[in-house]
Amino acid sequence: MAAAKTTSGPGGSIAGAARDAILAGVVALGIFGPLVGLKTEQNMQNELVITTRWGLVAIIVGIVIAGRFLLTTTIWPAMTRNKMRDKPAATAGEIAFRARLARWFAPTGLVFLFIYPALMVYFLGFQGSLKWVDNFGIQILIYVMLGWGLNIVVGLAGLLDLGYVAFYAVGAYSYALLATHFGLSFWLLLPLAGTLAALWGIMLGFPVLRLRGDYLAIVTLAFGEIIRLVLINFRELTNGSAGISSIPKITFFGIYSFELSAPNNFAKVFDLPMSSAYYKIFLYYLILLLALLTAFVTLRLRKLPVGRAWEALREDEIACRSLGINTTNTKLTAFALGAMFGGFAGSFFAARQGFVSPESFTFMESAVIVAIVVLGGMGSMIGVALAAVAMIGGTELLRELDFLKAVFGEGFDPDQFRMLIFGLAMVLVMIWKPRGFVSAREPTVFLNERKSISGSFVKEGHG
Amino acid sequence: MEIFLQQLINGITLGSIYGLIAIGYTMVFGIIGMVNFAHGDVFMVSAFIAMIFFLLFTTVLGVSSVIMALIAVMIIAMVLTGLLNWAIERVAYRPLRGSFRLAPLISAIGMSIVLSNFIQVAQGPRNKPLPPVLSGTITLMERNNFAATISYKQIMIWVVTAVLLAGFWYVVQKTPLGRAQRACEQDRKMAALLGVNVDRTISLTFVMGAALAAVAGTLYLTYYGVVNFSDGFTPGVKAFTAAVLGGIGSLPGAVLGGLLIGLIETFWSGYFSIDYKDVAAFSILAIVLIFMPQGLLGRPEVEKV
Amino acid sequence: MSSALSSEPTLRRWTADPVLTVEHVQMRFGGLVAVNDLSFEVGRGDITALIGPNGAGKTTVFNCITGFYKPTQGMLLLKHAKGDTFLLERMPDYRISAKARVARTFQNIRLFSGMTVLENLLVAQHNRLMLASGMTILGVLGLPSYKRAEKESIEAAKFWLEKTGLTARADDPAGDLPYGAQRRLEIARAMCTEPQLLCLDEPAAGLNPRESAELNTLLLDIRKMGTTSILLIEHDMSVVMEISDHVVVLEYGVKISDGTPSEVRNDPRVIAAYLGVDDEEVEKVEEQLDELTEGTTP
Ligand SMILES: Nc1ncnc2c1ncn2[C@@H]1O[C@H](COP(=O)(O)OP(=O)(O)OP(=O)(O)O)[C@@H](O)[C@H]1O
Ligand SMILES: [Mg+2]
């Protein structure tokens, strides 16, 4: 990457770098000049008028020039040097350290996840813990679960599914509709929603799974959009864009309720002060367990013939067929299983929000989940979890940038920049680590010694 | 009959816009095998550039001829959008060339998020309406109070699309650049060995795709008279559908696909229900891919064992 | 049929009990006829070589046998030692491997490069293991019957690792092996499916003389085990002459010779095809041998 970039400047000389930087500045001026410098706004008569912001443009162009100059003169040469130096430096000690880290990371992380709500309550009190358990804990864990579910399809079987959110929607609407119309319990509807999503997976998968490569991605994208559009337009059933509200809360396995008016309300029964924190903490543990179920099943399946066939399919489909593997069925199982976990997550999502609408199931959502899988490193459970924490946790943290108001004035809304930064992070992480955070693959079986496999041998699938 | 004629006219207009965007998808896919997800948003940005300059010319600089202003706006939008796409390719895609197949795709999705949110931040989330330009229609047929009309705007869109496609076709078929592009499509490594500057050819492909998207953006803006930061996604996906329908990698296919998608959409809205027009477009995409993955004019993909 | 065939003895060993009978097979790609009216037999327990110049259509024949292409005409009949017969042109590719038990290797090696050598060999035993895992359900529960089946599969894998000299590399990614080892692994993987017919597409290509000799030993070993017949494509004449029982020669998609190695070696049409001489000279040679050509070469 560095090599490709530096070729434009002759030999990395200062003059060349300066010329390069000026060029970058001119490009930046061309792009940002009109788009930032000329802000269009509606006046009282609803006409568009232009206000100029040349100062801001100057700052942006200045940053681009300086950044480009720094990159060519210091950062890339330093990175190239590092690369040269790093290669032989991966000593036995370092490898052992990495292996130890990998071995300890998962158990430590698990323990942390289980005591996380307790820690939050201990430090911040019930009310104060709400945000950290709900907006961070539950939100991230939903994406971890979705990422792990999609990881079966994309990471293991190598099938690029850009419409995964459809199964999430199927799960969410199954719960929302059946719970509001028939008053069925979450504990009955959870498996049902998963089954329905899996059936949809098979139904959609059957015609499309013989497609290769990007075509599969596009058809799944189309199916995702079709399901969302049907949810919007089939108003008799789904109430259209307005969505479905007052979805019942999940009960504590039917024993206690979290509805305020219920006689067996959790807080009333135990004579605790009323707080929504109990429900949130309960939800936290529920989604944690659901996510761990996903992980457990995936890890088990990887060591079974189906799991190996998925990975073999990702490596070389033709070789699979030459060995007597029914590739259509193998793909279908991956697709259906991924869909099932998406369905579980969906019904949990509906119960947690108490409200579903097609808004929550846009293509962007699918894109974010795919991004989590790829950024994490295809097939790696820990990588996917890390990516979910970084991407979802990171954007949630960006909501906390209120202090910037002090810098830029009251009119400044930091929330606007959240998705902008999210997108930039996606691009930068890909350039930095195209194979994701954890690219090495762990073998499923070994004869003498377990060695992890360098990501450079692992294929990405073409379907 | 009047309804049919009207839908035909509307469909061809819409289809011209989709076709222009679709070329950008098809060219990039043809040359580097990548689905450029950000292309729909590049189109949206171009519509914003056109909007800003149109406003600048008419309200600030006081250009009185709308036609002159539109021509100038279109040229500026083509240049600046080309520059933007050039920069995007340099920053977000080129470093990933030849690496992991999904990396450029994710990078493009990221870029699409960046572009739409950048416009939202820089220009605000509200719709940007322009005063109506080039109003006026020609009535072609009239019966029972329903008239099939064609507006000056629609005529302009047809003419501009036809002229630009002809010019574009000339560039791709007859110039050394076009030859280099086709060589890179066939075999990038061999082309490089034979002295084709592959990096530059790919860059120019992005610039050309963006310039055509900018034409579409300008036409879209004049046709609908309003643009919003979120307007990239749906036309983008539909144009992509068009590219696939026509056979991805095939330039005439992209135009044909665009026209078909435009016609399907307007006829569906005209005769069935406007609610499900997008469902129709996507269903056709799925059906075509399942039964005819190479599209209408694409070459079938042979898998050599 | 060329007249060269009419002079061959009526009874050939491989026609007595063929494992594979190819009859009048034609494969057409648009206007190109890659294989035309091809008939031959692969004798049970034999090593049969399919040879011919580049582009003769050898790989295409393999693809027809293993179901990757459907021949435009003709019949492919596979017969197991126990008597079951299969019409290969009617079966989808994965069933040809699973049911008719035809295994193959590829001219451009197709290993699961990101999986270990051992994993490659376990994937080859997929169908058996899948049954043992009760279509996954028993496996998820971790029942001992599956554990046992997996252990057996690993034993089978070990056997072939030993045979191919790959035991030491069992836990390395297949993509990390040197070229020759990858070729051997592909053969081991095919053998793990317990095939009745093993089709090898240029197994010796790119091997050094020592590796090539080892390959010969391996193939003769497989032949000695008696359960698997071998059909191989090979360019290296010394290999062909040394190990094969029966040779079929293709040129431009048409069979030009069929017989024992020594017969084929002395067939003037084969010599002509391999030396790449003009048609005229072929005719001269053939005239000298009092044989007529029908001008099969365009
Ligand atoms: N899928 C296909 N589509 C079109 N033509 C094909 C296809 N597969 C093979 N061919 C053509 O069929 C002919 C025979 O090819 P084949 O690969 O069978 O030759 P071969 O005898 O294996 O040659 P080599 O010794 O080089 O491997 C060639 O002209 C090839 O281009
Ligand atoms: Mg071949």
| pLDDT tens digit sequence for A428-443 | 988 888 888 887 888 8
C55 lines ligand 1 (CB under 6 A): yes
Mutation target vs A (from B52, B111, B127; most A CBs, 10 A cutoff): B52
Q: What is the pLDDT, as a whole number, of residue B53? A: 93
Lowest mean pLDDT among A92-96, C99-103, C233-237, C293-297: C293-297
pLDDT at C293 over 70: no
Q: What is the pLDDT, as a whole number, of residue C104? A: 93
Cα nearest neighbour of C59 on chain B: B305
Q: What is the pLDDT, as a whole number, of residue C292? A: 41
The alpha carbon of residue A6 and the mean position of all alpha carbons in its chain are separated, in whole angstroms, by: 33
Residues 6+ apart with CB under 8 A from B285: A218, A219, A222, B241, B244, B245
pLDDT at C6 over 70: no
Q: What is the pLDDT, as a whole number, of residue B39? A: 95
pLDDT at B269 over 70: yes
Q: What confidence category does residue B249 fall into, taking pLDDT thresholds of 50, 70 and 90?
A: confident
Alpha carbon nearest to ligand 1 atom 17, residue:
C59
pLDDT at B69 over 90: no
pLDDT at A6 over 60: no
User: Do residue C106 and residue A319 have CB atoms under 8 angstroms apart?
Assistant: yes
Residues above pLDDT 70, as percent of chain A:
87
pLDDT at B302 over 80: no
Domain A98-457 in CATH 3.50.4? The answer is: no
Match 């399907």 to its residue by tokens: B264
Residues 6+ apart with CB under 8 A from A446: C116, C118, C170, C171
Per-domain boundaries in chain B? 2-230
Residues B201-238: tens digit of each pLDDT: 899 999 999 999 999 999 999 999 889 998 998 899 88
| Contacts with A, C 252-281, CB within 8 Å | none
Quick count: other Cβ atoms within 10 Å of Cβ B242? Answer: 34
Q: What confidence category does residue C236 fall into, taking pLDDT thresholds of 50, 70 and 90?
A: confident
For residues A406-410, average pLDDT: 64
Give the closest-approach CA distance of A315 to chain C in angstroms.
5
For residues A257-284, average pLDDT: 72
Of C105, C102, C100, C98, the closest CA to residue C85 belongs to C100
C252 lines ligand 1 (CB under 6 A): no
Q: Are A411 and B92 in contact (CB under 8 A)?
A: no
Q: What is the pLDDT, as a whole number, of residue B45? A: 96
Give the closest-approach CA distance of B94 to chain A in angstroms.
8
Residues A212-240: tens digit of each pLDDT: 767 788 888 888 989 999 999 888 888 88
d(CA B300, CA B293): 8
Quick count: other Cβ atoms within 10 Å of Cβ A442? Answer: 17
pLDDT at C3 over 70: no
Q: What is the pLDDT, as a whole number, of residue A330? A: 92
Q: What is the pLDDT, as a whole number, of residue B260? A: 92
| Contacts with A, B 76-115, CB within 8 Å | 79-80, 83-84, 86-87, 91-92, 94-97, 99-107, 109-115
Mutation target vs A (from C88, C101, C115; most A CBs, 10 A cutoff): C115
Q: What is the pLDDT, as a whole number, of residue A2? A: 38
C58 lines ligand 1 (CB under 6 A): yes
User: Do residue A324 and residue C95 have CB atoms under 8 angstroms apart?
Assistant: yes
Residues B173-208: tens digit of each pLDDT: 888 888 888 888 888 888 888 888 888 889 999 999
For residues B284-289, average pLDDT: 82
Higher pLDDT, B187 or C187: C187
**Alpha helices by DSSP H, chain B:** 2-32, 39-55, 66-88, 102-123, 152-174, 176-186, 188-193, 198-224, 233-246, 251-271, 277-291
Cα nearest neighbour of C126 on chain A: A305
Q: What confidence category does residue C274 fall into, taking pLDDT thresholds of 50, 70 and 90?
A: confident
CA dihedral sign, ordered A204, A206, A207, A213: positive
d(CA B177, CA B175): 5
Mean pLDDT across chain C, nearest whole number?
Answer: 83
pLDDT at C120 over 90: yes
Per-domain boundaries in chain A? 14-84, 98-457
Q: Report chain B residues whose CB lies below 8 A from the CB of A371.
A: 106, 109-110
| Contacts with B, A 372-391, CB within 8 Å | 374-375, 378
Q: What is the pLDDT, as a whole number, of residue A77? A: 77
Q: What confidence category does residue A394 fall into, taking pLDDT thresholds of 50, 70 and 90?
A: confident
Give the closest-approach CA distance of A15 to chain B in angstroms.
21
Higher pLDDT, A279 or C152: C152
